Copies of this chain bind each other. A is one copy, B any other.
Amino acid sequence: MTDRFSFDVTATSGKARLGVIQTPRGEVRTPAFMPVGTAATVKAMLPESVAATGADILLGNTYHLMLRPGADRVANQGGLHHFMNWEKPILTDSGGFQVMSLAELRKLTEDGVRFKSHIDGSEHMLSPERSMEIQELLGSDIVMCFDECPALPGDRAQIAESMRLSMRWAARSREAFGDRPGHALFGIQQGGLERDLREESAEALISIGFDGYAVGGLAVGEGQEAMLGVLDFAPDMLPADKPRYLMVVGKPDDIVGAVKRGIDMMDCVLPSRSGRTGQAFTRRGVVNIKNARHADDPRPLDEDCTCPACTGYSRAYLHHLFRSGEILSSMLLTWHNLHYYQDLMAEMRAAIAEDRFAAWEAGFYEQRAMGDIAPL
């Protein structure tokens, strides 16, 4: 254990990086996938089960938590870690991403964003200063700058203007965050798909100085090809000795593509959300458990998976649970998906350690190309 936040890259394979983030709450092995605990819970999972999948860190949503139960309430309960019974590191987003999606319910100014709660219509304000305050009340280990995240594709002038606003907000976030040993503040690069705007954004962030850098403003409608196109150059613009975090991404092949391009951290609701809608991610692609072909199938979802859903239950049973609307369906499929995502990260870390990432990646796509096991 350490009382400081630090990051070390211990091996590389092509642009892919193996590393470790040290925090007072434990270490995070990178590349890392962070399950999302929106409302102070990773939906349908006990926190000890999330840890058992191999997750070293969770993501919490400032927007959701400030509205319910409220940041002061969480602080009074001893902070988010104690509140939700998760003692390992937590990264919180700034609230910016969710607020921007409120559309007519928000009003944007240089100062920040006024908005109405989607829960009860009550009025709230988020600004760089307020976001820093809330994330501190929550007790977040890795705090994100407050930024604006425009949808893509977008008008270049608007994306430039938005990026420059985010950079001014990044400076205000840095100022408001102050000096908090053991806690980290990450800047967020913007600039859409434009290389020169990404460069301008990276330079602005570096001149302010952060403990880590996120590639923001992606996975907002541009498609995988465009996203990976940006990742061909954007991570290289960010300091090599700090963690690089790709926000709200993604599907397994998005994650593999991002790690290949030098990304160290990712988060996404996909494995947990898909678990609740009957979609399982496996080594051989996506399995829709509600399909009738599984109704009499005694085989597990993924024969190479060691999660409780795959070692204890058949597809026939999981199909029955899903069709019956049973909570256990969400529990088991979410567990499987999070376990699969962590297995994927562990496999990539092992491949980078042995400098065989390209070969591993070829095997990953080969296995997926086989498709799901044949029906009985």
Contacts and interface: CB of A to CB of B under 8 A. Distances in A.
Interface of A: 39-41, 43-47, 68-69, 73, 76-78, 83-85, 295-296, 298, 308, 312-314, 316-317, 320-321, 323-324, 326-328, 330-331
A324 B46 contact: no
Contact of A321 (B41, B324, B330): B41
A327 B84 contact: no
A327 B333 CA distance: 13
A41 B298 contact: no
Given A308-B46, A328-B45, A83 B317 contact: yes
A355 to B, nearest CB: 40
B296 A326 contact: no
Nearest to A42: B328
A314 B68 contact: no
A320 B40 contact: yes
13 contacts: A40-B317, A41-B328, A43-B327, A43-B328, A68-B323, A73-B295, A73-B296, A76-B296, A77-B296, A77-B298, A77-B314, A85-B312, A85-B317
A44 B327 contact: yes
Contacts of A296: 73, 76-77
A73 B327 contact: no
A331 B46 contact: yes
Given A73-B295, A77-B314, A320 B68 contact: yes
A357 to B, nearest CB: 36
A316 B43 contact: no
Contacts of A46: 308, 328, 331
Contacts of A43: 326-328
The 8 A-B pairs with the shortest beta carbon distances in the complex, nearest first, are A44-B327, A69-B320, A85-B312, A41-B328, A39-B324, A41-B326, A77-B316, A83-B317
